[in-house]
Amino acid sequence: MESKDLILTIIYMNTKRGRHLNEKGIAEIAETFGVKLEPNAIRDLIEIGLLNEKYELTPEGEELAKRAVERIEREIKKGPLGALKWLTLRMKFVPEGVKPEWLYSED
């Protein structure tokens, strides 16, 4: 999975859960997938208009994120025990124990 897709998917799935992650939270979740984000990865998504300055998806970013999630889900569910694997992966994207310092704050 491309880091852009991973970032957009993390933000999209956590937003649907009512969480507004900051850069640290996005990076921490990405690391659970074995991906260390490049220093400017999120800034690049802001510059091309997929995220705003508050790390929220723009309409274009949301559309790309939806497609990425659907693509990932389709691929995972193809194999044996696909539904269980998807549930496990989804829990990895939206972990239960989100630390307060991972959440966006305007302070």
Chain segment 35-87, per-residue pLDDT in tens = 999 989 999 999 999 999 999 999 999 999 999 999 888 988 988 888 898 88
Q: Is the pLDDT of residue 1 over 70?
A: no
pLDDT recorded at residue 56: 96
Name the token pair of 76: 């995972």
- pLDDT band for position 31 (50/70/90)? very high
CA pair distance 29, 102, nearest whole angstrom: 10
Computed over every residue of the chain, the mean pLDDT equals 92
pLDDT score recorded for residue 22 = 95
Q: What percent of the chain has pLDDT over 90?
A: 64
Assess whether pLDDT exceeds 90 at residue 106.
Answer: no
Instruction: Tell me the average pLDDT across 18-35.
Output: 94
